Amino acid sequence: MTPKPIIVGVDGSAESVRAAVVAYHLAGAVKAPCLFVYAAPELWPPGLAPLAMLPGMYDGVRQQLLAALRAALPDIEESALIVRTGRAGEVLVNEAKRRGAILVAVGGRRHGALTRGLGGSTAHYLARALDVPLLSVSPTSETLRRVLVAVDLSDAGRPTLEAAARYASALGAQLRALHVIEPVRFPGVLPVPIDESEIERQSREGFERALAAVPAAGDALVDRMVVRGVAPEAIAEAAARWRADLVVVGSHGKGWANRMLIGSTTERLLNLLPASVLVVPITRKRSRAKQSRRRPPRRGIVVV
């Protein structure tokens, strides 16, 4: 049985090469193959491209990418670089599904050198669209030795903690668990009495139950902390103070519609954090009826 890979989006930029290096070492730690995917621009409408010309046309770009990757990772094989046509986000989502990837990685925040970038908007799109974890690699990341996991009390809490424990253990990294108690907000204008001490007590108990439910976290967990504040800012502050290399967060278990809303905690963290971010999605079983109504993913032209 072929091992499931880690897929890295590359575009020739320094950010994407750094993401490739971090993902390559992570793949080695979890004993997974690492594949590098470039989303080449579509130069013709689908079905009208002269297919015989495409391999030659993209040959120069392919060699540039290989040279950039091999400058940092001399041992990678040419077959590990995959070129497909289409929009970067769609190409990476489709390739992850096609190959059964366990994780997708991109360089964070900046645009790339070859035609289009893989930071910023692509990372946000992937955070909404992927069914597997997304690793957005900080431009300053080199090694992942300190992992901060943000644990909430929703359905996202346990899979987030499990992913953080798994990768921290594989990397031999320290793991710190964080829970943020956010201000209680009530709709309407009527004042509602709030027992903040009771809310904090219940939150701490829920946090401890979440940690106890994931025994694997115990081996890597160095400490835990509970803070008050607005989640994105509190997580960013805790990460900066501890000098975390990787922050693990869960995409909130509220379904596709809510994940599409700009301004979520996850998307704000992608913009705020100086560290790399691992976004763990909540997977839900779809009914057969819903699956049958889904349109097949758009596939670009393969250029290998």
Q: Give the integer Cα–Cα distance in Å for 176 and 71.
A: 34
Residues 6 or more apart whose Cβ sits within 8 Å of residue 38: 9, 10, 11, 12, 61, 62, 65, 81, 82, 83, 84, 114
Residues of the chain with CATH 3.40.50.620: 6-131+294-303, 146-185+197-276
**Contact call for residues 259 and 252 (beta carbons, < 8 A):** yes
Domain 146-185+197-276 in this protein, CATH class: alpha beta
Residue 221 pLDDT = 86
Question: Smallest Cα–Cα separation from 133: which of 2, 56, 26?
Answer: 26
Q: What φ, ψ does residue 55 adopt, rounded to 5°?
A: -55, -40
* pTM for this model (two decimals): 0.82
Cβ(119)–Cβ(106) under 8 Å?
A: yes
Q: How confident is the model at residue 247 (pLDDT cuts 50, 70, 90)?
A: very high
Highest mean pLDDT of the ranges 2-6, 27-31, 285-289: 27-31
Question: Of 110-124, 156-170, 175-189, which range is least confident?
Answer: 110-124
- CA 170 to chain CA centroid, nearest Å: 17
What kind and span of H or E run contains 69? Answer: helix 59-72
CATH architecture assigned to 6-131+294-303: 3-Layer(aba) Sandwich (3.40)
pLDDT above 80 (res 63): yes
